[in-house]
């Protein structure tokens, strides 16, 4: 059920990126699509009633064999969280590139409307 | 964002001018920003260094390091931030971070035999669990990534704050 809502968010972003004519609205649609994908990846590693995947001193004092049994059975998956953190920063970089292109197109054509940017000017 | 024909296209960070035309924001903002930016920088270094113990690591810490310089840029104006960390130096720090990361990975081949081997943890410096000096090469990789991400995002915000009209862009 929650995965269907995540897919709905992705579809909203796709609608914005495809239908809208203003360039800034297209960029916002792309950003919403990236949020939906990151949310989906984090939701894949979730466990109902799980603890945060951080090992502290109370875990280690019980002994290493008990650490693996009690930690693995009780914590959420930390690997999707680490990869999504990387992905968020990378999407920030690509968003900066897209915004820079929008600024340069506005400086050259004087409008944000993509139906008026047809010809490649000198 | 519809502009008139004769009006110059302002840059993103040009809005911060006080009433007598000086660059930057008011006295209250400048005073508080000069105290707070050091704390933000120190917090970023903490997130980077303890990346193998607490949540965070290189990427999140690098973003926090860059945000302290963005605060400097917003409160004092673009030229002040550019004098503080000039463009060629930031570019060199960026490349240094990437090069350090590649060097650590290649040292895994030299000392161990496979790419990205954790040679410090297995042979030379195992350290104790849950202390700062542990987990081998992971803190060093975190430092390299934090340096690279911080310098890159500072460069991105600095270059985006250029005012362009037509085909000529200039730093103002």
Classify strands B168-170 and B163-165 as parallel, antiparallel or unpaired.
Answer: antiparallel
What would the DSSP string read from start to end of B6-36?
A: SS----GGG--B-TT--BS--HHHHHHHHHH
Q: What is the residue-level pLDDT of chain A in tens, covering all 122 positions?
A: 889 999 999 999 999 999 999 999 999 999 999 999 999 999 988 888 887 877 777 767 766 667 777 777 788 888 888 889 889 989 998 999 999 888 888 888 888 888 888 776 65
The percent of residues above 90 in pLDDT, for chain A, comes to 40
Inter-chain CB proximity A93 and B59 less than 8 Å: no
From chain B, the residues in CB contact with A82 under 8 A are 57
Q: What is the ipTM of this complex?
A: 0.76
A vs B: CB pairs below 8 A: 43
Q: How far apart are alpha carbons B75 and B86 in whole angstroms?
A: 17
From chain A, the residues in CB contact with B166 under 8 A are 107-108
Helix, coil or strand: residue A22? strand
Inter-chain CB proximity A89 and B59 less than 8 Å: yes
For residue B166, pLDDT beyond 60: no
Sole residue written with tokens 């990437």: B98
* A108 contact B CB<8A: yes
* B88 contact A CB<8A: no
For residue B158, pLDDT beyond 90: no
| Residue among B12, B41, B16, B60 nearest B159 (CA) | B12
Q: Which domains, ranges and CATH numbers included, belong to chain A?
A: 2-47+72-116 (1.10.287.3510)
Confidence band for B11, pLDDT divided at 50, 70 and 90: low
Arithmetic mean of pLDDT over chain A: 86
Its pTM stands at 0.79
| Residues within 8 A of B (CB atoms), A 44-73 only | 54-57, 60
pLDDT tens digits for range B27-65: 999 999 999 999 999 999 999 999 888 888 889 999 999
């Amino acid at each position: 059920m929650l995965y269907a809502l995540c897919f709905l968010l992705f579809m909203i972003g796709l609608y914005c990126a495809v239908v809208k004519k203003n360039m800034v609205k297209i960029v916002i649609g792309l950003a919403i699509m990236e949020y939906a994908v990151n949310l989906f990846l984090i939701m894949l590693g979730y466990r109902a009633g799980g603890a945060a995947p951080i090992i502290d001193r109370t875990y280690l004092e019980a002994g290493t064999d008990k650490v693996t049994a009690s930690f693995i059975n009780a914590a959420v998956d930390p690997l999707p969280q680490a990869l999504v953190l990387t992905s968020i920063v990378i999407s920030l970089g690509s968003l900066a590139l897209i915004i820079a292109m929008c600024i340069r197109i506005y400086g050259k054509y004087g409008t944000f409307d993509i139906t008026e940017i047809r010809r490649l000017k000198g | 964002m519809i502009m008139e024909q004769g009006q110059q296209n302002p840059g993103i960070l040009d809005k911060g001018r006080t009433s007598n035309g000086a660059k930057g924001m008011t006295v209250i903002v400048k005073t508080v920003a000069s105290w707070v930016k050091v704390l933000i920088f120190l917090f970023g270094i903490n997130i980077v260094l303890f990346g193998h113990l607490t949540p965070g690591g290189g990427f999140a810490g690098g973003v926090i390091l860059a945000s302290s310089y963005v605060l400097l840029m917003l409160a004092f104006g673009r030229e002040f931030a550019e004098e503080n960390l000039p463009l060629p130096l930031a570019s060199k720090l960026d490349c240094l971070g990437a090069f350090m990361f590649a060097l650590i990975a290649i040292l895994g081949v030299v000392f161990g035999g496979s790419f990205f081997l954790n040679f410090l943890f297995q042979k030379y410096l195992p350290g104790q669990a849950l202390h700062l000096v542990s987990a081998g090469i992971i803190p060093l990789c975190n430092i390299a990534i934090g340096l690279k991400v911080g310098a890159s995002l500072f460069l991105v915000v600095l270059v985006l704050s250029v005012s362009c009209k037509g085909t000529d862009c200039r730093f103002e």
